[in-house]
Structure 1
Amino acid sequence: MSIQLDMILEQMKAQKQSFHEDFDVENLRQTAQMSAQIPPEKDVDFAEILLGSRNTDMAIPSKPREDAVIMYIHGGGFVSGNPKYVRSFTSFLAKKSRMKVYGITYRMAPEYQFPAGPNDCLEAYEALTQMLPDKKIIVLGESAGATYVIVTALMARDKNIRLPDAVVAYAPCGDITGRIDRAEYKDTDPVIGYNALDKIRNLYCPEDADDPYASICLADYKGFPPIRIVWDAGEVLSPDSREIANKAEKAGVYVEAKEWKNTFHTFELLGAMLPEAVEEINDTVHFINNCI
């Protein structure tokens, strides 16, 4: 464990979990904005474009590759976040991969419930495939965004839209039905409380939790593109990642699964600030390059 990680974990343990069972959406949204105070990487520019109807924040490294791009979907429990808030991460990803990173926006709960978010992600993805028909496209996201990159690939497959060339999912939420007993993680996840998913379900998808686009642990992964799934062993969502990885492997999908220990939910977002995040992003870029 790096000194930086140890310090961060001590700070997190001294605070209340971001997603506790009584979290307030507006407070969560305000807290998410604070991430924008972390400066982006140097030598990475930004541009704002539309993909379909979706506002998109594009990170552009110096001398980007011409053969491949990344579509990034942010997390935030389906209720908060914006790609502009995590430019420090998208710029680091762009710099490491030498690819343009298209950070999309989507409608969020509770104002817009399922399936608004997945539909927005698919719209943006399809627009990107049409805009860049000759380029490889990787979809990458964390937490709720990791759920959405998997849903995007599932929906693309089911609608006969060109599949992503690779999928990277950092700690997806795979089940909101309540089927998974998460009590054993109540003292091991400093970010998400083990009862928080009940509130997330009520805000995001109160009626269709068993839809495989809502609870992706229930999906059929036959014909799915190569996927890298990453999670921490002690986080509340770790059973989700394990189940998705197992189902995809049994369906014949190429799967890279990495379980970290003693990190935390979506630690990758700290990018250059955290040695463990740098290592994971380097491994992610290696996976992507092997797929394209």
Structure 2
Amino acid sequence: MNDRKPGVAIPERIIPFPASISVEARAALERLVGDDGSPLNAAFVMPEPDDHEGWLRVKAAVDRQYAEAVKGLAGQLRSTVETIRIEAATIHVATPAATFNDDRAYIDFHGGALVFGGGEACRAGARMQADQHGVKCYGVDYRTPPEHPYPAALDDALSAYQYVLERHRPEDIVIGGRSAGGNLAVAVLLRARDAGLPFPAGLVLLSPQLDLTESGDSFETNRLVDLVLPGSLMQSNLLYTAGADLSQPGVSPLFGDLTGFPPTFLQSGTRDLFLSNTVRMHRALRRKGVTAELHVFEAMPHGGFGGAAPEDIELQDEINRFVRLR
């Protein structure tokens, strides 16, 4: 009896960094592998979903790393920021020093596997978006597990969206999310429609984590090839959902009804573990007649090349163009 799993058998090989990318991008990839070519990030092991003490320790350590990483930005950021509470949600409201349009607003959902990335990193991220787009940015510091599993983050996202709608016209709002934040950016629109709320003018999804079932092709083809996110996030997915169905639209919004969605900007890279999330979302939107741009960058891993490569700058220019057209 042949019980071999259907698929393609690939012999062991080294996948080189291509000459088709910038010198800066190649250097960024080279910094993420050991002397033997193994991804440095592959050594990170997530606790089991029911090991809440373990997750609290990992979460504290990762949040310290995030906070340390954003310290260097303090002198570069020009926007001011105020932190407010709306119901259970924490929102960092960043106001740019030079405003492109006082009426416009950008709602930002941070990344971090739906577990990490809050606090100082989220606060700095809101200021970065305000500086970048020249509009007021609302950075949603949503609650995370293990203390606050699903649907706490989505509840916070909806509270934030309602708050912004009370202060800005929907046609003046753009919602954006990177990685896990892309999940919430889409899921909150599904929830908003159910609540009878209008859609914003645009949606920006950067390597979005839209399918927590991890059923896409790139979860296999880009495993270990993506040096930033070399493997499955299923442990954190299960922690986040706390027993909820992984395929329900509130958890995996790729499977939701995308009818009437606003114009959407989608980005990924050929080495991104979430490439399938992005291209499948693009096709799902186009099947509903939604205007959607798909930008896939050569050899780019999850989250880009660190921000300084020409490809990163090109991506930022494309996002700026999209946001200002809304």
Query: TM over 0.5, yes or no?
Result: yes
Question: Is the 2:268–2:295 contact (alpha carbons within 8 Å) kept by the matching residues of 1?
Answer: yes
Name the counterpart of 1:9.
29
1:7 shift after superposition: 2.4
1:136 shift after superposition: 0.8
**Which one of the candidate residues 161, 165, 174 is aligned to 2:197?**
161
Name the counterpart of 2:113.
77
Aligned residue for 2:40, secondary structure, equals: coil
Name the counterpart of 1:55.
90
Normalising by structure 1, we get a TM-score of 0.89
Counterpart-to-counterpart distance in 1, 2:154 and 2:123: 22
For residues 154 and 211 of structure 1, do their structure 2 counterparts lie closer, same or farther at Cα, with a shift above 3 Å needed?
A: same
230-239 vs 124-133, greater mean Cα deviation: 124-133
1:86 shift after superposition: 5.3
**Which of structures 1 and 2 has the bigger CA Rg?**
2
Q: CA-to-partner distance for each residue in 1:172-209, whole Å, 9 max, x for gaps? A: 11212243352211231112233x22212221113321
- What residue identity is the alignment partner of 2:98? K
Question: Is the 1:229–1:241 contact (alpha carbons within 8 Å) kept by the matching residues of 2?
Answer: yes
Question: Is the 1:118–1:152 contact (alpha carbons within 8 Å) kept by the matching residues of 2?
Answer: yes
Aligned-residue CA RMSD (Å): 2.3
Q: CA-to-partner distance for each residue in 1:124-147, whole Å, 9 max, x for gaps? A: 111111133477111111010011
Aligned residue for 1:267, secondary structure, equals: coil
- The answer to whether residue 263 in structure 2 is matched with residue 239 in structure 1 is no
126-135 vs 17-26, greater mean Cα deviation: 17-26
Question: Is the 1:68–1:136 contact (alpha carbons within 8 Å) kept by the matching residues of 2?
Answer: yes
Question: Is the 1:176–1:198 contact (alpha carbons within 8 Å) kept by the matching residues of 2?
Answer: yes
| Higher RCO (C-alpha under 8 Å, 6+ residues apart) | 1
Counterpart-to-counterpart distance in 2, 1:250 and 1:162: 21
Question: Is the 2:89–2:143 contact (alpha carbons within 8 Å) kept by the matching residues of 1?
Answer: no
Question: Is the 1:51–1:128 contact (alpha carbons within 8 Å) kept by the matching residues of 2?
Answer: no
Normalising by structure 2, we get a TM-score of 0.80
Counterpart-to-counterpart distance in 2, 1:13 and 1:130: 48
1:19 shift after superposition: 8.8
Name the counterpart of 1:275.
310
Name the counterpart of 1:28.
62
Counterpart-to-counterpart distance in 1, 2:137 and 2:255: 29
**Which one of the candidate residues 181, 184, 188 is aligned to 1:148?**
184
1:33 shift after superposition: 2.3
Aligned residue for 2:233, secondary structure, equals: helix
Name the counterpart of 2:13.
none
Name the counterpart of 1:44.
79
- What residue identity is the alignment partner of 1:146? G
- The answer to whether residue 266 in structure 2 is matched with residue 229 in structure 1 is yes
Q: CA-to-partner distance for each residue in 1:136-165, whole Å, 9 max, x for gaps? A: 111111010011111112211222112111
1:32 shift after superposition: 2.2
- The answer to whether residue 322 in structure 2 is matched with residue 287 in structure 1 is yes
Q: CA-to-partner distance for each residue in 1:194-233, whole Å, 9 max, x for gaps? A: 3x22212221113321111111221111111111111111
Q: How does 1:94-243 map to 2 (within 5 A)?
A: 94-133=130-169, 136-181=172-217, 182-194=219-231, 196-205=232-241, 206-243=243-280
Counterpart-to-counterpart distance in 1, 2:83 and 2:143: 17
Counterpart-to-counterpart distance in 2, 1:75 and 1:67: 26
Question: Is the 1:61–1:98 contact (alpha carbons within 8 Å) kept by the matching residues of 2?
Answer: yes
Name the counterpart of 1:254.
291
Counterpart-to-counterpart distance in 2, 1:19 and 1:160: 45
Question: Is the 2:211–2:277 contact (alpha carbons within 8 Å) kept by the matching residues of 1?
Answer: yes
- What residue identity is the alignment partner of 1:240? N
18-27 vs 245-254, greater mean Cα deviation: 18-27
Aligned residue for 1:13, secondary structure, equals: coil
For residues 75 and 259 of structure 1, do their structure 2 counterparts lie closer, same or farther at Cα, with a shift above 3 Å needed?
A: same
Question: Is the 1:93–1:281 contact (alpha carbons within 8 Å) kept by the matching residues of 2?
Answer: no
Counterpart-to-counterpart distance in 2, 1:147 and 1:178: 13
Give the unaligned 5+ runs of structure 1: none
Counterpart-to-counterpart distance in 2, 1:252 and 1:114: 30
For residues 123 and 133 of structure 1, do their structure 2 counterparts lie closer, same or farther at Cα, with a shift above 3 Å needed?
A: same
